[in-house]
Amino acid sequence: MSEQPPHMNPYSVAENALDGRLFYGRQAILQQISQLIFLNKGDDAGQPVILVGPPRIGKTALLRHIQDGDLGPTILPIIINLAQIATDSLSAFYWDVAKTAVPQLTSLNLDYTPPDQAAFIGNPQTTFQEQFLQPVNDALADKQTSGKLLFLFDNLQALPQTSDEETAVPLSPAAIHNVLNQDEMAACLFTWQGDTASLHQTHPDCHTARIIEVGPLSEEAAIALIRQPASTIIVRDVAAYIVQLTGGQPYAIQKICHALYERQYRLQLNQITAADVNAVLITDPSLLPETAVTEPPVFAIAPESGGRRTVRHVRRVPPRQRNAFLAVGIIAVIVLAVILLFPVFTGKSASQQLASALEDPTITPTPLPTTTPEPVTPEIIEIEVPVTAEIVVTAVTVIAPTETPPATPTSTPTATATATPTVRPNVLPTLITREQDQMPMVLIPAGAFIMGSPEDDFRAAPDEMPQHEVALDEFYMDKYEVNIEQYASFLNRLGRS
C-alpha cells in the first residue's frame, strides 16, 4: 500500500492557534467596534469597550482579525494577553504592556526611543504616556501617517478583582482606558470570559462600559465555516446539521470539521454525509459542546417493543423443481386460453360447432341419390331441392367472409392516428416540480441490476430467489423525501455509523 502524501488540516483545534485561524461572519460586531472606537469626546468616548461572551465563542478570533487590519489602515492594533502580563504592581503592569507593544510596531519603522524600565518605578501611568504613547504618536505624525493606536486586551478576567469601596482602582478596565485615552493618544478594547453580570460583580466600575455581546455564529457564517475550507463535498443539509449539533459555536464546529477532515483523508471520501458526522461523534462524544442544545428531529423513530416476534421459516425449493412447476402451470394456461379463444377466431360458438359436427354425417350421404338419374321421380327431386338450397346457402356464407378483407385497410389508418399523440421526448428533464404539492422531483435513470443468490450460495436465505436480472425504466422520485436530521436520527437509533 502506497503512503499518502502529507496533508494540512485547515481546521484549527489548538488552544493558541496563532496562524491559520479561520474567521467567518461577525461583520456587525466589527462595525460596532469601529463606531465606538472613533467616538468623539462629546459622544461619551471616555468609557471602555468590552466584548463579553462564553469561553471559545470567538472573542480572541475577533482580536486576531482586527490585528490583521480588518478595521482599516487608520487603526494600528496592538494585542496584549493579560494572562501573560504581570498584574501584581502598576509599574510591572505598564512596563510589560510597553515591552509587549514595541515588537508589534517594528513593521511601521517608527523613529522613537524605546522606554526605560527604571523610569516606570516612580509613576508608571505618566511614564507610560510620556515614554511610549507620546513618542509613538509623534513618530506617526513625522511620517504623515494618520493612525490611531488600538490596544486589544484579551482575557480581562486575569486582572485582580476590585470592590465597590475603591473609587479609583489602578488596574480596573476604566482606569486603564483613561490612561490610554488621555488626549486621544490611544484606544483600547477588552474581552471578558463570562456574562455581563459576572463582569459587573468582578469590576463594578464597568457598569457604564460599552458592552458588546459575542454569541454563536449566524447560520450562514457557520455554514461557510464548514464548507469553504474543506477540500471535499459537504452539502448544505449536512452543514446545517452540524450547525444544529454545535449551536453555531465556532470552536465546536472546527473540532467536528477537524475530525471529519481526518476521516475523509483516511478513507479517501469524495463527500461527507450525515453518517460520517454520526461516526466521528460516536468515536469522540466530547466533540460536542456541553452547552449545545439540539432541537429534536422532525420525527422520532418508535423504540423497539419488548414483545415476542414471530419468525416464519420457509423451506427453500430447489431451482429445478421450481422450474418444473412453472412449466406445468404455463402449459395449463396455454391450453385453457386456446379453448376459450377458439370460438372467437372461428366465428362460431361452441354449440354451433357441435351442431355442425353432428350435421356433417347427414350431409355427406345426400349426394348418393344423384348416382341414379334415370329413375328420378318428381318427389325425389322435390326432396333434393332443399338440400341443394342449403348447399347454396352455405356457399353464400362462405363468400361473405371473402368480401370482408377490403374493410381491413380502413382500420389501419385509425390505429396509426391514435398512436401519434403518445410521443415521448428522447431526453427527460432531470428536475421537475409536481403540480399537486409543488414537490421537486428528480429523474432517476433507467438501469439494471442483479438480485438473488447463486444455487451454490450457502449463505442465501431460505426464501431468497435465484440470481436474476431486474431492469427498471427511468422514473421520478421526491428530492426531499427524508431530511438530513431524520436520516441522522435513524442512524443514531440503529447505532450504526
* pLDDT tens digit sequence for 212-230: 999 999 999 999 999 988 8
Residue 224 sits in the same domain as residue 95: no
Which one has a higher pLDDT value, 492 or 196? Answer: 196
Place of cell 472546527: 254
DSSP 453: B
- Supply the pLDDT for residue 258: 92
Residue 192 sits in the same domain as residue 252: no
- Tell me the residue type at 303: P
Q: Considering only 89-98, 207-216, 421-430, which range has the smallest mean pLDDT?
A: 421-430
Strand partners, 324: none
- Supply the pLDDT for residue 333: 85
Q: Give the domain-ending residue among 180, 196, 213.
A: 213
CB atoms within 10 A of CB 21: 18
Residue 282 sits in the same domain as residue 235: yes
Percent of the chain scoring above 70 in pLDDT: 68
Q: What one-character-per-residue DSSP string does 388-430 give?
A: HHHHHHHHHHHHHHHHSGGGHHHHHHHHHHHHTT----SS--S
Residue 163 sits in the same domain as residue 257: no
Q: Give the domain-ending residue among 170, 191, 213.
A: 213
- Supply the pLDDT for residue 457: 79
Place of cell 348418393: 368
Closest CA to 61 of 154, 160, 147: 154
Residue pLDDT, tens place only, 3-29: 445 578 888 887 655 455 688 888 999
The answer to whether position 107 is within a domain reads yes
- Supply the pLDDT for residue 20: 52
The answer to whether position 185 is within a domain reads yes
Q: For residue 233, what is its C-alpha cell? A: 463535498
- Supply the pLDDT for residue 318: 59
Q: For residue 29, what is its C-alpha cell? A: 460586531
CA distance 133 to 181: 10
- Supply the pLDDT for residue 363: 47
Q: For residue 195, what is its C-alpha cell? A: 456574562
Rounded to 5 degrees, φ, ψ at 105 are -100, 0
Residue pLDDT, tens place only, 287-324: 888 755 444 444 334 444 444 444 444 455 555 666 77
- Supply the pLDDT for residue 155: 94
Residue 209 sits in the same domain as residue 72: yes
CATH code at 142?
3.40.50
CA distance 23 to 99: 28
**How many alpha carbons lie under 13 Å from residue 354 in its C-beta half-sphere?**
3
Residue 253's H or E segment, with its range, is helix 250-267
Which one has a higher pLDDT value, 394 or 40? Answer: 40
Residue 43 sits in the same domain as residue 162: yes
Residue 239 has pLDDT above 50, yes or no: yes
Give the residue numbers spanning the domain of 283. 218-302+472-497
Contact 272, 260 (CB under 8 A): yes
Most confident of 154-168, 252-266, 307-321: 252-266
**Average pLDDT rounded to a whole number, residues 81-86:** 93
The answer to whether position 442 is within a domain reads no
Residue 115 has pLDDT above 80, yes or no: yes
Residue 126 sits in the same domain as residue 157: yes
Contact 274, 497 (CB under 8 A): no
The answer to whether position 355 is within a domain reads no
CA distance 12 to 68: 18
Residue 193 sits in the same domain as residue 296: no
The answer to whether position 492 is within a domain reads yes
Q: For residue 419, what is its C-alpha cell? A: 398512436
**If DSSP codes are grouped into helix, strand and coil, which group holds residue 134?**
helix
Q: What one-character-per-residue DSSP string does 325-369 give?
A: HHHHHHHHHHHHHHHHHHHHHHS--HHHHHHHHHHHHHHTTTTGG
- Supply the pLDDT for residue 243: 94
- Supply the pLDDT for residue 215: 93
Q: Give the domain-ending residue among 213, 231, 249.
A: 213
Q: How high does pLDDT run on average in the chain?
A: 76
Residue 273 sits in the same domain as residue 150: no
Residue 209 sits in the same domain as residue 224: no
Closest CA to 56 of 158, 157, 189, 193: 193
The answer to whether position 75 is within a domain reads yes
- Supply the pLDDT for residue 2: 40
User: pTM of the entire structure?
Assistant: 0.59
Residue 160 sits in the same domain as residue 222: no
Number of domains the chain is built from: 2
Contact 154, 63 (CB under 8 A): yes
Residue 265 sits in the same domain as residue 205: no
The answer to whether position 420 is within a domain reads no
The answer to whether position 142 is within a domain reads yes
- Supply the pLDDT for residue 3: 47
CA distance 431 to 455: 41
Residue pLDDT, tens place only, 352-402: 655 555 454 444 444 544 444 455 444 444 444 444 444 443 433 444 444
DSSP 130: I
